[in-house]
Amino acid sequence: MRPITRILALAAPVAALTSAIVAAPALGWGPLIDWHSARTAEPTAAPTALSAQGSDVSKIQHVVLIEQENRSFDHYFGTYPDAAGIPMRDGVPLVCVPDPDNGGCQQPFHNPTDDNGGGPHGVAAARRDIHGGRMDGFVAQGENGARGCTEPNDPACTEGSQTDVMGYHDSREIPNYWAYAKNFVLQDHMFESIASWSLPQRLFTVSGWSALCATPGDPMSCTNAAQSPANPVGFGHNTSPPDYPWTDITWLLHGAGVSWAYYVFAGDEPDCENDAAVCPPATQNAQTPGIWNPLPYFDTVRQDGELSNIQSVQNLYMAARSGHLPAVSWVAPNNRVSEHPPQSVHEGQTYVTDLINTLMQGPEWKSTAVFLNWDDWGGFYDHVVPPHVDPNGYGLRVPGMVISPWARKGFIDHGVYSQDAYLKFIEDLFLGGQRIDPSTDNRPDPRPDVREDLPTAGDLVKDFDFRQDPQPPLILPLNPGPVNPPKLKVFLRGTPKRVSLNKKQIRLPLTCNMGCQVTISEQLKAGRAAAPVGRLKLALTPRQRTRVAIPLTSRLRQAVTQVRKAKSSAGAPPKLVLLIQGDSRTGPRRLRHLTIALR
């Protein structure tokens, strides 16, 4: 159990495929235009199914899909040697993205900071980032996401005029990810399945579709929902469990007797459907469905009696060590290690490294393939125009890696892929090529297409070489240096969770690790009803410990009465939500949320 303890303590163009791609100006995708042909590698056609070098794909008996959060390819690998990265000449970027708020434009820049803000990353943001193939909307969207909120005091808002969406990292911040790329396979034309945020993408991960269904239990009542499928309880304004009646991959795996598990790291996950980069957290664990854990809401999982297959991530460690990995595993992070802005890049890399180290040291490593990817682009800049295949996507380019003893060493795969390739690989390897296809799986639904059969999905088998000697484990340090911690930290110690309205004030213990300006924005919430109630500003010297007095004013009490009367509150208890923003001259801004129940 020691690795678990450690984790808990860390707490382009595609000319050859143009005929297969449908133009969709209404969604913002343009034709595939080679904006940077001098720099971008020409993608190659994907091979036929199970056509790896050596062709003995049966050597792979365990597939582990690790899906992290919200990073574009250029953001993590834009300067990786020989990859289709940021167009540059002599180390100077050739692109400059318009900056409407500050005038001029912003070039990509090396960003050594560990916590990043990112930008909006829903359907509308994808359309505007892509901008008909110009790929020049990122800065404007980042600035809009920072300040374009209906209620400035909403804790889901990020405030300020600065955006870091043009920043990129390299081996100085993410040495382990670059080491995996150097020793295994890096895919530089992997596109997210859907041009949207986490919940639709996670639905695509397990089912190849994102939908909203009018009638529980009836997949034919479902309609395409790229932005807003039914949210889990507690996300957005949803108070009743959704029902996902369409078919997911576990239905096919169960029917074929193929073992599977969905591992969930307990903790928090953000609620970011509104496109803000910083969101109030919601609790997640193996028993709590969420935006990163949607399988419990699928009818198929409940009907098959396989809810117990959704387990704590600790079970993955035990299975890896004992040699009892299921055939198919998905691994969902918690917020702290997810790399979802503004969470730490370093902590996310440490968590992923610990997972992969444990798999490599287990007895089944020789028969394992790890697919590491990031679910969406997170609003960060990427220069490659995504292919368009249907009303859902593809979305923007994200990093993809294949890590296995049989992965081609140091191979940069320039072939076009979507994240649907993971489903295709699982289906080809374990199900004889059977697809999540309503015409063949006896569970009809009106999905627009069978994603795994599209030529642009790609075939991951190309990234293996079964003629080579299996690569030995690559055990990497969990905390590679140098680490670039946030320059500013805001600490809350011993904060109250519940306070009586009879009190005159709330004493909020607050510390900065350096001199900072702190702004505390107060908002009262009850169900969907919300009201701003105040804002405080103060200055703190380095490591000065103070107890800020948050007055429970008559205005607050009046607001409590108003939200209780509001129909949208539906009898929900009032909560005081505090957005605590720390600023320093050296930055970057730090944001913390605190919710206090009022009684």
Coil, strand, or helix at residue 18? helix
For 205-224, what is the mean pLDDT? 95
The model's confidence at residue 281, banded by pLDDT at 50, 70 and 90, is low
The single-letter DSSP state of residue 562 is H
- Residue 539: is it exposed, middle or buried by C-beta count within 10 angstroms (0-12/13-18/19+)? exposed
Structure confidence at residue 595 as a pLDDT band (50, 70, 90): confident
Report helix, strand or coil for 279.
coil
Entry field: residues in the chain: 599
**Residue 251 in this model has a pLDDT that exceeds 90:** yes
Q: Is the pLDDT of residue 555 over 60?
A: yes
Q: Which residues contact 110 (CB under 8 A, 6 or more apart)?
A: 79, 167, 168, 169, 170
Instruction: Average the pLDDT over 56-69 and give the result.
Output: 96
Share of the chain above pLDDT 90, in %: 53
Looking at residues 5-31, what average pLDDT do you find? 35
Q: What is the mean pLDDT of residues 260-286?
A: 70
Tokens of 244: 């996902």
More confident residue, 510 or 462: 462
Residue 14 confidence class, pLDDT cut points 50, 70, 90: very low
**Residue 288 binned pLDDT confidence (cut-offs 50, 70, 90):** confident
- The conformational region for residue 342 under phi > 0 = left, psi -120 to 50 = alpha, else beta, is alpha
* pLDDT confidence of residue 45: 39
In the prediction, which pLDDT does 87 show? Answer: 97
Most distant CA pair in the chain, distance: 75
Element (H, E) at 428: helix 420-430
3-class state of residue 238 by DSSP = coil
Full set of structural domains in the chain with CATH: 2-77+171-463 (3.40.720), 490-598 (2.60.40.2550)
The answer to whether residue 502 scores a pLDDT higher than 50 is yes
- Is pLDDT larger for residue 433 or for residue 280? 433
The pLDDT confidence band at residue 466, using thresholds 50, 70 and 90, is very high
For residue 461, the model assigns a pLDDT of 96
Task: Say yes or no to pLDDT of 6 above 60.
Answer: no
Structure confidence at residue 212 (pLDDT): 94
Q: Is the pLDDT of residue 586 over 70?
A: no
pTM of the model: 0.74
Average pLDDT for 325-329: 99
Instruction: Give the tens place of pLDDT for each residue, 81-103.
Output: 999 999 999 989 999 999 998 88
pLDDT in tens, 34-51: 223 323 333 343 334 455
Phi, psi angle pair for 464, to nearest 5°: -115, 150
pLDDT interval class at 142 (50, 70, 90)? confident
User: Which of 45-54, 167-176, 255-264, 407-416 is the least confident region?
Assistant: 45-54
What is the arithmetic mean of pLDDT over 491-513?
A: 80
As a whole number, mean pLDDT of residues 264-268 equals 86
**pLDDT value at residue 12:** 36
Pairing of strands 368-374, 400-403: antiparallel
Name the percent of the chain lying above pLDDT 70.
82
CA atoms within 13 A on the CB side of 475: 6
Mapping DSSP to helix (H, G, I), strand (E, B) and coil, where does residue 36 land?
coil
